[in-house]
Amino acid sequence: MSNTPVQPESGQSESAQPEPQQTSADSGQNVPYMRKIRSFVLREGRLTKGQQNALDNHWPVLGLNYQSSSLDLATVFGRSAPVVLEIGFGMGKSLVEMAKNAPDKDFIGIEVHKPGVGACLGDAAAAGLSNLRLFEHDAVEVLNDSIADESLDTVQLFFPDPWHKKRHHKRRIVQPEFVQLLRKKLKIGGVFHMATDWQNYAEHMLEVMQAAPGFQNESASADYVERPAHRPLTKFEQRGQRLGHGVWDLMFKRIS
């Protein structure tokens, strides 16, 4: 696999990364934080007519508003099913495809960029999906406040901003404190699935996750896994493969 990086897929983003106080990861309380180091730059862009129409027409059904208390996901979806949450879904093509291919699961997407939310809403409605809901909000705040502990079966983070300059590495969302927040929200046996096209970020993710209490690497070689069939191969990724660029998938299971 080549070490040549390619730029992240346009529109994909991360949410804010907390800088927490000293606290026990096993305290059972929400992870506190005093100030935020943003891991995204909010670039709104101009909404197309179709994106605005999708927001106007489909948000009431498929949209979720941030709230300071935990949502009852069984009530949200009208059933009890495994829940997959994706952080930074970009324009939402892959998320819609995954939800369409797995009707037995419920999907939640979090994105801060309104055009991507509008695009995803339009595609989800066109596909007739009832197992997908979207937040347009900061993912850390959603996870801290709106998502109950031990309620998620999978958390996905695909092609996040790599913040490749060393002075910006603190903005990378995969940090020890953030991982422990995800640990609380995942069920025992739940999986945190990451993918990146930047080798340095892949190495950073691996280092953070190997040191994270409560997680076990799903890789037989103790590093990366092959792209699982349920993660769609995007046009961006196919182009990168033709050019010899690498993509690294990591999957870690919560074991305690």
Laid out side by side, the sheet with 132-136 consists of 63-64, 132-136, 106-111, 83-87, 152-158, 186-196, 248-254, 215-217
DSSP string, 79-147: S---EEEEE--TT-HHHHHHHHH-TTSEEEEEES-HHHHHHHHHHHHHTT-SSEEEEES-HHHIIIIIS
Burial of residue 203 (number of CB atoms within 10 Å: 0-12, 13-18, 19+):
middle
Which amino acid appears at position 4 of this protein?
T
Taking CA 195 as the corner, what is the angle to CA 194 and CA 201, rounded to the nearest 5 degrees?
95
161 belongs to the catalytic site? yes
Instruction: Name beta bridge partners: 63.
Output: 134
Helix axes of 114-126 and 49-62: crossing angle, nearest 10 degrees: 70
Q: Which of 161, 197, 223, 249 is catalytic?
A: 161
Q: How many residues in the chain?
A: 256
C-alpha span between 234 and 230 (Å, rounded): 12
Residues 6+ apart with CB under 8 A from 242: none
Is the Cβ–Cβ distance between 114 and 137 less than 8 Å? no
Is the Cβ–Cβ distance between 205 and 194 less than 8 Å? yes
Residues belonging to the active site: 161
